[in-house]
Structure 1
């Protein structure tokens, strides 16, 4: 008997590869999975890696109405030909294009996962446009899955859709965390010492790490300013920035960029396909983001045994419990961030308690198989 067809769509294949890694391969045992995204070469690599068929659809993360309309038409024709049982979209642009084309094509089950809302930082006319697009996306979907309880509350507060359409799966997260892969035991003291030496990090330095896009709405401006002040008072600290800049979409301030260049205690390594070695040599994650869905990096760091300083936003404040596996600070609060960084470096007995609970709290709540099975159960109940 032929398996039902499942189409999963993201704006760019990086999301399929890094944010949903392994999930398509898992679902392919139960459904005929087709991955749809932009960037043909990268998408095809993801298809080979996950063992699924692919279809390239040109999309961008910017507001591009004419290109988006072309994408809707192309996807509509593809869906009419494929006749999938389920279309499941992730990321905002893939959501509107995927849900609209699916509704027009008569796809019976149209799912959209919400994993963050860039529109929350928008204002004026742009915010009105993005609000309209969000509502249209949800109206075309038959089910909407916020990947955190906080996001569900935001959706209801903004009247984007009814509560009947919403459901948070498992304990949150779009993909869970592979705690066998993110395991600090893989890295020996010798390996860690070698990498620290390569990055000019002393054996007794306390290392704060950030993993993600180096952009304003991740709180990088506040993080760099806070660390710059901390490093003036404490020479035994380092800040490790793992990720790329996005100068066009959400640039950092000139002051922040100048500090990154001039402060020798700030180390940038760019985008890394495997962040585990950098987490392994660090002592604490700093993640003062303005908005998130359910941030993978906070789970990854926790699985690697790191406590985290996070902002009090949805997702972050569900993964981190204040005083148990990390510290929670107000959003965009430079002084609170600096105070938390001082606390975690100076009060080592507190830090040790946070470290002890970091990994167990992730393993018990966000193991990847738990999340995958919850999504699969949603699919299976439709058959």
Structure 2
């Protein structure tokens, strides 16, 4: 097949390039020459190159505000764009968006696209919020199109006047990459598989397991989750909380009492970072995901595709994937009491929880199948 042009996709860290866009770069490389750009981490970046069948270029970018390093990265991106002359530069993640949109504008790239998958700045206040708002507006000004990955995020961007409606578009039903429902399929795990993992984690066959997957940070609602579970666990001894992920203490630390409870409560089971989260979904009964902010959370789609009902907060993305009383329940953010009540209902009313489970997978398959999202992005590229 003759390729129609060149696309450079940029993320701040290579884990996002290989995970957030898994499979998509390989799909697009059938139609375009694709180059991936992300920070240096030879092991991960080389793995992404092999996995996706694309060329990769390391350019160091930081997730924090680091003016000297940021200017250096802009210059390196500018040089790369001038050399490669791409038809499209498409960025993901906040810092990569700011740096690559500016560099692409300076380099005269005709199509400068940035996908918004969440706005960390929404939790900032005072001078920091003012600075982040300014940077956000500058990013959007340098881009030719902005793709919020949820309709709620689209509304937030307009409400904050970061850019005009004509520059915004939500592709398909939302999501940056959709989900491979054949990969996230509970039928891939036998009772024997599940029993073995439960035994390894000291989970009894009749325990009710809530699972959280993500970073252990304040913004993900972990403080509230631990507070709620502590209260629940006193009432329901057969409850377990499975935590899949890692701390980010330098960026968004948890309360000391939260960490202490995680370390000391035998019914809270932290299993660290996992390359494959499916076995942990397979042994769980429900997802608890009380995040303060999201773009379009993959975790909620993954859990649903694995047949799990979800407790999510009433924030963009989450409240689009979950429909109240159909495949989960939606609660206000930052309320450990309402989270506790919802978790209690899931345990104490098995008929209700089973009804939600029956709809969970079907809703994801119907709306967010990965190839449907990829083809929708491809059509957008072709229009450009």
Which TM-score bucket, shorter chain as reference? over 0.9
Separation in 2 of the partners of 1:128 and 1:261? 37
Separation in 2 of the partners of 1:40 and 1:334? 38
Q: How does 1:131-280 map to 2 (within 5 A)?
A: 131-280=133-282
Question: Does the residue aligned with 2:72 lie in a helix, a strand or coil?
Answer: helix
Confirm whether residue 7 of structure 1 aligns to residue 8 of structure 2: yes
Question: Does the residue aligned with 1:159 lie in a helix, a strand or coil?
Answer: coil
**Residue in 2 that maps onto 1:364:** 366
Question: Does the residue aligned with 1:252 lie in a helix, a strand or coil?
Answer: coil
Structure 1 segments of 4 or more deviating over 3 A? none
Separation in 1 of the partners of 2:236 and 2:337? 16
**Residue in 1 that maps onto 2:300:** 298
Separation in 2 of the partners of 1:181 and 1:67? 39
**Residue in 2 that maps onto 1:26:** 27
**Residue in 1 that maps onto 2:103:** 101
**Residue in 1 that maps onto 2:56:** 54
Separation in 2 of the partners of 1:14 and 1:311? 26
Q: How does 1:52-131 map to 2 (within 5 A)?
A: 52-131=54-133
Residue 45 of structure 1, CA deviation: 1.4
Question: Does the residue aligned with 1:14 lie in a helix, a strand or coil?
Answer: helix
Residue 65 of structure 1, CA deviation: 1.0
| Residues 2 and 320 of structure 1: CA distance in aligned 2, closer, same or farther (over 3 Å) | closer
Deviations 1:35-71 (Å, cap 9, x if unpaired)? 0000231212111110000011100111111100000
Separation in 2 of the partners of 1:214 and 1:20? 22
Contact 2:78 2:106 in 1 (8 A): yes
Separation in 2 of the partners of 1:188 and 1:90? 36
Q: How does 1:332-371 map to 2 (within 5 A)?
A: 332-371=334-373
Residue 93 of structure 1, CA deviation: 0.1
Separation in 2 of the partners of 1:169 and 1:75? 26
Deviations 1:270-299 (Å, cap 9, x if unpaired)? 000000000000000000000000000000
TM-score by length of 1: 0.99
Separation in 1 of the partners of 2:10 and 2:48? 13
Separation in 2 of the partners of 1:147 and 1:248? 27
Deviations 1:67-119 (Å, cap 9, x if unpaired)? 00000001101100000000000000000001000000000000000000000
Deviations 1:109-149 (Å, cap 9, x if unpaired)? 00000000000000111111100110000001110000000
Question: Does the residue aligned with 2:9 lie in a helix, a strand or coil?
Answer: strand
- May I ask how many residue pairs the two structures share in their alignment? 382
Question: Does the residue aligned with 2:181 lie in a helix, a strand or coil?
Answer: coil
Deviations 1:256-282 (Å, cap 9, x if unpaired)? 011111111000000000000000000
**Residue in 2 that maps onto 1:328:** 330
User: Which consecutive residues of structure 2, in runs of 5 or more, have no partner in the other structure?
Assistant: none
Separation in 2 of the partners of 1:297 and 1:253? 23
Contact 2:3 2:31 in 1 (8 A): no
Deviations 1:316-346 (Å, cap 9, x if unpaired)? 0000000000010001011110000000110
Confirm whether residue 16 of structure 1 aligns to residue 8 of structure 2: no
Residue 2 of structure 1, CA deviation: 5.3
